Structure 1
Amino acid sequence: MHPLSLDVAGLDELLGRLPTLAGLPRRLEDLPGGLTNRNVKVTTPKGVFVARCCDTTSNLLGIDREREYLNTKAAERAGVGAPVIDYAPELGILLLGYLEGKTLSDSDFGREGVIAKAAAAILALHRGPRFHGDFDMFERQPSYLDTVQRNGFRMPSDYLDHAEGFARIREVLGTGDRTTVPCHNDLLAGNFIEDGDTVRLIDYEYSGNNDPHFELGNVWSECGLTLDQLDELVTAYHGRRSRRAIARARLQGIVAKYGWTLWGCIQSASCALDFDFWGWAMERYDGAVAEFRGPDFDRLLADAATPD
């Protein structure tokens, strides 16, 4: 039985198999969030930890747990990730040090200074140790599409009507600098932990080396930033305003919306968690369609291809 389905007593017994926790009295508290895993706060006399528990019996989403572990360690070395304490792949458990601080919500990005702190954390991650493996939504989206179609999962009836717009973005973003950096690739607000002047980043399930503008565009998409806030984020990251960089980040945000839509379709059809994955997917899909059909889509493509 995998840890996602265990009751508290069963999970406590499983956690006791970890050398770090063996023999220690423990208090367990399920933490909110986590749509593909179970996050549990573990309080002991020798410290507070977070156990990231996953189901290793199914993997329709292409998550590489060994890569997650290695890249979480790299993020720790970069100074933005939680300390890695223990790892038991046979149990589906990654044990981390607990980070004190405020878990951000979308509205927090409207507070003075939060976007600048988020940009600094992202930049520190991107300048840190190279990650294991790559992440490219232009490759991940066709894989998700194959999973959906092969299994007969429900998806928007007109999803493929926008394949041309997706391909146009891929063509434009494929020109010029192809530098990749270690990216988180899934920075929704709940993966930012704010502690004073510092922001840390958690949850490296989809981590891999990628175009840095995907990271920035995905933050815009997942955290509900306005276009002005996207401008602020990209400018803070680069240290100067770049029309080209802002356009590339926004286009990558559209790519993220379009690709993650299929992630939601897969989860809607296959995941037992009590969560509206279909509604989650449609929120991203509607956002992508609005951008594909928007009056400035052609201008974005031109800006992304034009040096400043």
Structure 2
Amino acid sequence: MSWIRMGDGASDAEQALEAILTKVPRWAGADLRYCSVSGGISNTNWRVQVGAGGEDVASAGAGPESGKDVFLKVPGRGTEMFITREAAHEASRRAEACGFGVAVLDYLPESGVEIFAFMAEFRASSNLDFLRPVVRHNAVRALRAFNDAPRLSLTKTIFDMVDEHVRQVAEVGGRVPADQAFLMQRLGEARAALTASGLDLVPCMNDTLAGNFMIDGQDHVRLVDFEYASNNERAYELALWFDEMAFSAEVEREMIEDYWGRWDEQTAARTQVLKALGDLKWATWAMIQERVSTLDFDYYKYGTWKLRRARTLFHHPDWPLWLRLL
């Protein structure tokens, strides 16, 4: 890794980070250095060392993390359209309390930046890690623990999310799929069926891509990144995870049994419907990000891929059956 001393930042991203670091009172006068951390498609991520020079900076207000590494992210442009930072911070605290999150060291309300302990013994997982049953099982345990935690202050269902994104696409002049009317028809059908069956609203990460699961050498799992967290339909958490992992039908059944303690047609049907809605949600999000984000990421390609998978389920011959089973 390439460390940068505080004050030596050259790029816009580095200078934005340094502006935030100067606002942490406990680090006033501390020797700081930092380096970028890869991952994420909305923000820039950073590893910061407090007391990097090895001198005693505790008396200068560096806090208990003196001589240790911490992690923080700088919100990307436009993320305020999707993320309520106070709600994300509450969810981070909830995850820490349930035993599967990361220690939260500080929160800067004016910038919406959280400061976490840096877990040197953990690394971000990849889809390949989830080919191993033990990792999948430990991930399910972590998700279930967070879902079973006390409710959050913010409730935002999958329907709220898609509705919000559709409005935002129009506001920013984003691309609209040629079959938008059909996609909205399917959304309406799913909304009616799921609402009639009743929503089980619990804390959900709502962002279960592989990189948000950290694993160590013993395959212990910790959950990170709760920017999109809210109370949402419980079954959506697994459904979105299945979207991200591209599990086979056999593995999906295994994970449903692991999470719920059983497999049945109703739960399986609910999962299929919510998988389609999850891909629709993130495809619509990508249409907005294509217009507003400054990060070097192909949001159009990402959104196109998500829409293609959503259509596979929306056009599936069992779609009417899944809705009846809900």
TM-score by length of 1: 0.90
Greater Cα offset, 75-84 or 183-192: 75-84
**How far has the Cα of 1:20 moved from its partner?**
3.8
Q: Is the 8 A contact 1:193 1:201 kept in 2?
A: yes
CA distance in 2 between partners of 1:232 and 1:51 (Å) = 35
> Residues 27-46 of structure 1: CA distance to partner in whole angstroms, max 9, x if unpaired?
31211122222110112353
Q: Is the 8 A contact 1:71 1:132 kept in 2?
A: no
Q: Is the 8 A contact 2:289 2:299 kept in 1?
A: yes
The answer to whether the aligner puts 1:224 opposite 2:230 as a matched pair is no
The answer to whether the aligner puts 1:272 opposite 2:294 as a matched pair is yes
Equivalent residue number for residue 83 of structure 1 = 103
TM-score by length of 2: 0.86
Larger Rg computed on CA atoms: 2
Greater Cα offset, 59-68 or 81-90: 59-68
CA distance in 1 between partners of 2:28 and 2:246 (Å) = 42
CA distance in 2 between partners of 1:147 and 1:7 (Å) = 26
Equivalent residue number for residue 163 of structure 2 = 142
Q: Aligned to 2:194, which of 173, 179, 203?
A: 173
Equivalent residue number for residue 72 of structure 1 = 92
Structure 1 regions of 5+ residues with no counterpart?
A: none
Structure 2 regions of 5+ residues with no counterpart?
A: 1-8, 52-65
Q: Aligned to 1:11, which of 14, 17, 28?
A: 17
CA distance in 1 between partners of 2:12 and 2:150 (Å) = 36
Residue correspondences, number? 300
> Residues 147-179 of structure 1: CA distance to partner in whole angstroms, max 9, x if unpaired?
112332112221222222222222221133422
The residue identity in structure 2 corresponding to 1:162 is L
**How far has the Cα of 1:110 moved from its partner?**
1.0
Q: Is the 8 A contact 2:78 2:293 kept in 1?
A: no
The answer to whether the aligner puts 1:26 opposite 2:32 as a matched pair is yes
> Residues 121-172 of structure 1: CA distance to partner in whole angstroms, max 9, x if unpaired?
0011012232120121212212211111233211222122222222222222
CA distance in 2 between partners of 1:130 and 1:300 (Å) = 28
CA distance in 1 between partners of 2:124 and 2:281 (Å) = 25
Q: 1:178 to 1:11 in 2, by over 3 A?
A: closer
Q: 1:10 to 1:184 in 2, by over 3 A?
A: closer
Q: How does 1:8-157 map to 2 (within 5 A)?
A: 8=14, 11-12=17-18, 14-45=20-51, 46=66, 47-55=68-76, 58-59=78-79, 61-99=81-119, 100-157=121-178
Q: Is the 8 A contact 1:218 1:253 kept in 2?
A: yes
CA distance in 1 between partners of 2:187 and 2:19 (Å) = 47
Q: 1:223 to 1:167 in 2, by over 3 A?
A: same
Aligned partner of residue 27 in structure 2, secondary structure: coil
